[in-house]
């Protein structure tokens, strides 16, 4: 039985830069910092690649984790930092916040670029911005504590 989403993984060309963003700016906690060298057969099989080597970190927030990889081998192709959100594939990471205006202002001051200031959409306010690699990050604040789509961990319902 599926228990829930454990983590989302992101590939980057500069792990230290991404770590500073997700840990120091967004406030995720570093749980693991790991490296494997070429010739690690189980990683090659798992990734369906040959001669892999990489460093990866696992970061945690209250109810989910993000894993960030920087591959040394094979050399990855860079992503498009302005990739349209309508293109196929994972389009964004959404972070629920309790004060979207304060988070938006804090993140703008920290250098994060947003598509727009927060906007109202039904029972929530939201905005999309980009991490240092151009991955889209949505901030969302639900207007009602009893909102069924809100995370239970931030609205008094205990852990999911």
Rounded to the nearest integer, the mean pLDDT of the chain is: 89
130-146 per-position pLDDT tens digit: 999 999 999 999 987 77
Q: Which residues make up the CATH 3.10.180.10 domain(s) of the chain?
A: 7-72, 93-154
Looking at the structure, give the CATH architecture of the domain made up of residues 7-72: Roll (3.10)
* Cα radius of gyration (the chain): 17
33-47 per-position pLDDT tens digit: 999 999 999 899 988
1-42 per-position pLDDT tens digit: 766 788 999 999 999 999 999 999 999 999 999 999 999 998
Checking DSSP bridges between strand 124-130 and strand 29-36, what pairing results, if any? unpaired
Q: Which fold has domain 93-154?
A: 2,3-Dihydroxybiphenyl 1,2-Dioxygenase; domain 1 (3.10.180)
Closest CA to 15 of 31, 29, 34: 34
Closest CA to 31 of 6, 53, 48: 6
State the average pLDDT over residues 68-76. Answer: 94
pLDDT level of residue 155 (50, 70, 90 thresholds) = very low
């Amino acid at each position: 039985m599926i228990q829930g989403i454990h983590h989302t993984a992101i590939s980057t060309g500069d792990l230290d830069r991404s770590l500073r963003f997700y840990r120091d700016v967004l406030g995720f906690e570093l749980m693991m910092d790991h490296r494997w060298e070429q010739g690690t057969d189980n990683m090659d099989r798992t990734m369906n690649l040959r001669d892999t080597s990489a460093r990866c970190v696992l970061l945690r927030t209250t109810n989910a984790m993000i894993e960030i990889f920087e591959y040394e081998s094979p050399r990855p192709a860079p992503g498009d930092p302005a990739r349209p959100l309508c293109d196929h594939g994972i389009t964004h990471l959404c972070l629920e916040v309790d004060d979207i205006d304060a988070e938006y202002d804090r993140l703008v001051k920290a250098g994060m670029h947003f598509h727009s200031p927060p906007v109202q959409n039904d029972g929530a306010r939201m905005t999309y911005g980009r991490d240092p690699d151009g991955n889209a990050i949505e901030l969302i604040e639900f207007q009602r504590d009893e909102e069924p789509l809100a995370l239970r961990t931030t609205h008094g319902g205990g852990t999911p």
